[in-house]
Amino acid sequence: MRDADPKPIRLVDYRPPDWLVDTVDLDIGLHPTATVIRARLGMRPNPAGREGAPIVLDGDELVLKSLALDGETLAGNAYSVTPSSLTLLAPPQRALTLEIETLLDPSANTKLMGLYRSSGTYCTQCEAEGFRRITYFPDRPDVLAVYTTRIEAEREEAPVLLGNGNKVEEGELPGTTRHFAVWHDPWPKPCYLFALVGGRLDRVGDRFVTATGRDVELGIYVEPGKAARAGYAMDALKRSMRWDEEAFGCEYDLDVFNIVAVADFNMGAMENKGLNIFNDKYVLASPETATDNDYASIEGIIAHEYFHNWTGNRITCRDWFQLCLKEGLTVFRDQEFSADQRSRPVKRIIDVRLLKAYQFTEDAGPLAHPVRPATYREINNFYTATVYEKGAEVVRMLKTLLGSEGFRNGMDLYFERHDGQAATIEDFLACFADATGTDLAQFALWYAQSGTPQLAITGEWNPAERSYRLDVEQSVPPTPGQPDKQPMVIPLALGLVGPSGEDLPLTLADGTSPAGGVLTVDAPRHSFVFRDVAERPVPSLNRGFAAPVRLASNLSSDDLVFLARHDRDPFNRFEAVQTLALGYLIEATQAVRSGRNLPEPAALIAAMGASLADPALDPAFVGQVLTVPSESDIAREIGRDVDPDAVYAARATLRRAVGTALAEPLAGAFERFAAPGPYSPDAASAGRRTLRNTCLSLLAEAGAGEGVARALGLYRAADNMTDRLQSLMTLCHHAPGQRAEVLADFYERFRDDPLVLDKWFGIQSQIPEPGTLDRVRELTGHPAFSLRNPNRVRALIGSFATGNPTQFNRADGAGYDFLADTVLGLDGSNPQLAARLLGALKSWRVLEEGRRGKAEAALRRIAGTAGLSPDVSDIVTRSLA
């Protein structure tokens, strides 16, 4: 057990390593409970380190069997071992070879970090600090070495043996039942990118020829019998490889690229060099078992991990504070890839929805932290929406500010200058500054200041002067450890939309035009005056959501209706409707709480109706317009004294009003966009299904347009999981009489399919009614439920805590108690997963007094429990601070 409350690690304390490792030779004898690891490390003192320093290696839950220096077994007094380290007290100050033998029990590894088994397959997860659970090593990303890995196993148990790089040798061990393979990775890498796999797996193979003619062998390995479900992932991989060459000039650099899908995985996937390991949820897909969203996630995550080969692997991070250097940049890259493969505007809408749902919420609560944190206690807890999604937004802003060409030049310089290095955010920004001659010192605040900046904008037309003035004020709210903030550089992308719906020319008082329609806001207050504005325009602000900020403006609801109809920026057409809806929902929530009559959503319904009636619009876009903000979005915007029941009631009332008023066009769209042929996961077909299912859910909620009957028909006739799951959800929420029957039907169809069973658990946990908590408790006793499979835990308990606001936030606190019990029950076996689940309580302070007290009590109960993991201890401490 590690110390539950270790001293925080601070960015300012960074020191280069005292010892470097040039080569790592591993000899691994796989065994279910007694795997032997022999590591030979070629080390030398780091000229940039402290002279005469001891060799300190990290370790975690290791059994040390032997230790030799340059071939000589070391005497017991030459080194010391603690639960977390191995230290050579006075090593010779020259190049040397350390040989370390450790013993592991992969079957007992329930943390899923280091070497473990998933359904019998041996696999590894080393990011962030898992390699130290395999052998003693300087487990930090700025130690880069060339790895050669020999893996030996029973042929029966593990006919497939995979490692990083290229396979250089394989064979049988004569006279035994064992065989081996040797893999060599020529590219120096940090140990967090190490991986191996051994198991009985099926393979889907393909080839890819790179831009310069390198022939790459591609393999996707899956559990036996599931190869037919890996086709889409393979297609996405090849498209990713081509796109990265075209968009960023990044070419693949090994002869082999393998992906392995495993059922037990803490995260989404991992970019190990040449051997990506995936949560099988993000590989396996067939029309009958995967939804359109699943297909889109697979495409995005396959691309994300592949793109890491350059942004993360060839150029890695100096230390874990720089995590966003690889993650924010790589998320930006995968978002751009998906935008190019699908509909760019719809992709942006979906990404911004997620950004607001997760990142804005995180930034507004006790777990808020900068994109590059300055301190951490447990790095596992910093794989967050802020590091990933806000990190991607910061890169997008760089592109907006520098232009496409400047951005590309900066990226080219980054690859050229830092290839093979462990870099920092300063290194990254310097490339853009140098390539474009731009001072990015103030821009760098995006990495250092947490909290979502706010823009308050007032626009005023002056008919006499034929001018338009925009007064812009920025502020950044206080966040933990950062009471006072400095002004940021915010790209304000905008247009002035004239009465006929056309953009008016943007000419500032001095006669210049903002490049690309982007104003730079870098002071607390600005006044921008546009001249030659003959008619009253409506400003379209923060187009494309170019800056990840909250916006308050003096636009009237008529202005928003106008933008919803005419803005040439599709994002802001969508956003105008969302802003109208949020305004209504906040008012309606207050009305519910104080027993007043609810306001009339007439303008909003008219705007939605207009979208629905516009044949020029992409159905996927209309589907987004018709999707009103979620309960958590509403709660976050209200920001204090939130009563989740009132939020729910307000939202349901709005949806019923929409469903009733637009019953005819909704039913019409449902009919009109029926699938023309067999299922295809492409974006256009998926968009039609999104629209149909959104219509259906509004109709069913309103009890109009035969919504329930249509949902039942769709469920029964569905030839794909999207329609089947969406109709099932609609029935579960709005047709209690049909629920038991369809749930039983679904279970019988898919009882042997774990990824689909996850959906079955998830749907039940999200039903917004008082019996749900009991049902969830009962389902934890279902034979198919297990705390050992992270996907299953997230499906039942995670989606209850994050996807069912009224029932998780029950007024009696039972939802919080249930979560606390689960977190405590899980902490011993899988602390990472436990800590993530606990994150569901991060917004507890915005709740009304009664629930706030209950949530706090649950958190305090966890905090008061002895023997917490560092992961859970860190989250609970910060949540309560």
> What is the binding site for Zn ion (CB under 5 A)?
327, 330
DSSP state, residue 674 = -
Chain centroid to CA 110: 23
Distance CA 403, CA 503 (A): 21
Give the shortest CB-337-to-Zn ion separation in angstroms: 13
Structure tokens at 558: 């008529």
In a 13 Å sphere around the CA of 265, the CA atoms on its Cβ side amount to 24
Amino acid code (one letter) for 369 = H
Give the shortest CB-326-to-Zn ion separation in angstroms: 6
Which residue, 302 or 547, has its beta carbon nearer to Zn ion? 302
> Catalytic one among 223, 271, 299, 305?
305
Question: 162 has which bridge partners?
Answer: 197
Which residue, 330 or 791, has its beta carbon nearer to Zn ion? 330
Element holding 550 (H helix, E strand): strand 550-553
Buried-exposed string 382-414: b where 16+ CB fall within 10 A, e elsewhere:
bbbbbbbbbbbbbbbbbbbbbeeebbbbbbebb
Structure tokens at 61: 């839950």
Which residue, 139 or 305, has its beta carbon nearer to Zn ion? 305
Which residue, 252 or 746, has its beta carbon nearer to Zn ion? 252
Which residue, 180 or 376, has its beta carbon nearer to Zn ion? 376
Which residue, 327 or 856, has its beta carbon nearer to Zn ion? 327
Closest to 601 measured CA to CA, from 696, 698, 691:
698
Which residue, 327 or 723, has its beta carbon nearer to Zn ion? 327
Amino acid code (one letter) for 303 = A
Place of tokens 């309960």: 631
Residue 305: active-site member:
yes
**How far from 57 is each of 35, 36, 72, 132, CA to CA, in Å?**
20, 18, 19, 8
Distance CA 308, CA 462 (A): 51
Q: Are strands 550-553 and 454-462 parallel, antiparallel or unpaired?
A: parallel
Give the shortest CB-145-to-Zn ion separation in angstroms: 22
Give the shortest CB-330-to-Zn ion separation in angstroms: 5
Give the shortest CB-303-to-Zn ion separation in angstroms: 11
Q: How many degrees, rounded to 5, is the angle at CA 861 between CA 858 and CA 862? A: 90
Neighbours of 66 (CB within 10 A): 11
Give the shortest CB-113-to-Zn ion separation in angstroms: 17
Place of tokens 């380290």: 85
Neighbours of 151 (CB within 10 A): 23
Q: What residues have CB less than 8 Å from 865, skipping those under 6 apart? A: 824
Distance CA 445, CA 423 (A): 18
Contact 262, 222 (CB under 8 A): no
Q: Identify the three-state secondary structure at position 528.
A: strand
Give the shortest CB-795-to-Zn ion separation in angstroms: 22
Helix 231-248 / helix 323-341 crossing angle, nearest 10 deg: 110
DSSP state, residue 42 = E
Give the shortest CB-740-to-Zn ion separation in angstroms: 41
Which residue, 330 or 789, has its beta carbon nearer to Zn ion? 330
Contact 182, 169 (CB under 8 A): yes
349: burial class by Cβ within 10 Å (0-12, 13-18, 19+)? buried
Distance CA 825, CA 800 (A): 17
Give the shortest CB-384-to-Zn ion separation in angstroms: 12
Report the sign of the C-alpha dihedral through residues 505, 510, 512, 515, in that order: negative
Give the shortest CB-245-to-Zn ion separation in angstroms: 20
| Residues annotated as catalytic (active site), given as ranges | 305
